[in-house]
Amino acid sequence: MNANVAITAVVVALLLLLVASSPATAAGGGWDGAHATFYGDDNGGETMQGACGYDDVFKQGYGWETTALSVAMFAGGWSCGGCYEIRCQGSNACRSGAAVTVTATNLCPANYSKPYENWCNPPLKHFDLSKKMFLRLVTDFRVGIIPVAFRRVPCAGKTGGVRFEMKGNQWWVSVLVFNVGGAGDVRALAVRGSRDGRWMDMSRNWGMIWNGDVRLEGQGLSFRVATSDGRAIVFGDVVPPTWMVGQTFQGNGQF
């Protein structure tokens, strides 16, 4: 084994150790209890953008199947991209056997001025669904709030590979990672420039936007993505040297 291969193996092993020790709730766990409401209108306009950094959830592949998470569940943005199966239970408004699977794309903010009226205050577990998802669970949306059972599940059915939207500027690389299958939530990201040839860890700025704090303009870029279930994939040469801020590139692999 040559030195470069050995160093890469060590880096990946350390990365996976970091991911495994992070406070993530892996997909495939048991059922838990929470409550659910909805936000936005029938067109879904108010579900765009938000605290995870996604711009247009329809163009980015999440569609109506989205939710904002309460502060305790949002975990400062580390839960962005994770998927949840939710069932209505314990309400006369529940549709029989109704369930939805949604991706966390936003934060339901706390309101400490009304601690007994805001279901998103910690330590409560709460989902603020898009209106269409809420309507799949209930017979009448005017019920407002319902008790639910939920569990983390793998993010299935992704179309195409993991995607990387270039942000930042010529002085430093910033990237939004989305359309992630499997666990869905990215726990570590590293970048490698085609000229530099070495892996550099990126730091999470907010949501699923990661900063590299290095100048990599004019270089092709590879990314190493690790998710909360301990898996890691290298997307080699996914971004060409001619990349520009605002462009999105698709990797050849998927979790």
Question: Structure pTM?
Answer: 0.86
**Comparing C-alpha atoms, which of 181, 254, 170 is closest to residue 219?**
170
| Domain residue limits at 205 | 3-22+161-250
**pLDDT value, residue 41:** 77
Write the single-letter amino acid at 166: M
User: Residue 213: which CATH number?
Assistant: 2.60.40.760
Same-domain status, 17 and 38: no
Same-domain status, 218 and 138: no
Model confidence pLDDT, tens digit, residues 53-85: 998 998 999 999 999 999 999 999 999 999 999
The total of structural domains in the chain comes to 2
CB 191 within 8 A of CB 222: yes
**pLDDT value, residue 77:** 98
Chain-wide mean pLDDT for the chain?
87
**pLDDT value, residue 52:** 97
Average pLDDT over residues 159-186: 92
Tokens 């909805």 belong to residue: 38
Model confidence pLDDT, tens digit, residues 11-50: 333 333 333 333 334 555 699 999 999 998 777 667 777 8
Per-residue pLDDT band for 95 (boundaries 50, 70, 90) equals very high
Average pLDDT over residues 202-221: 92
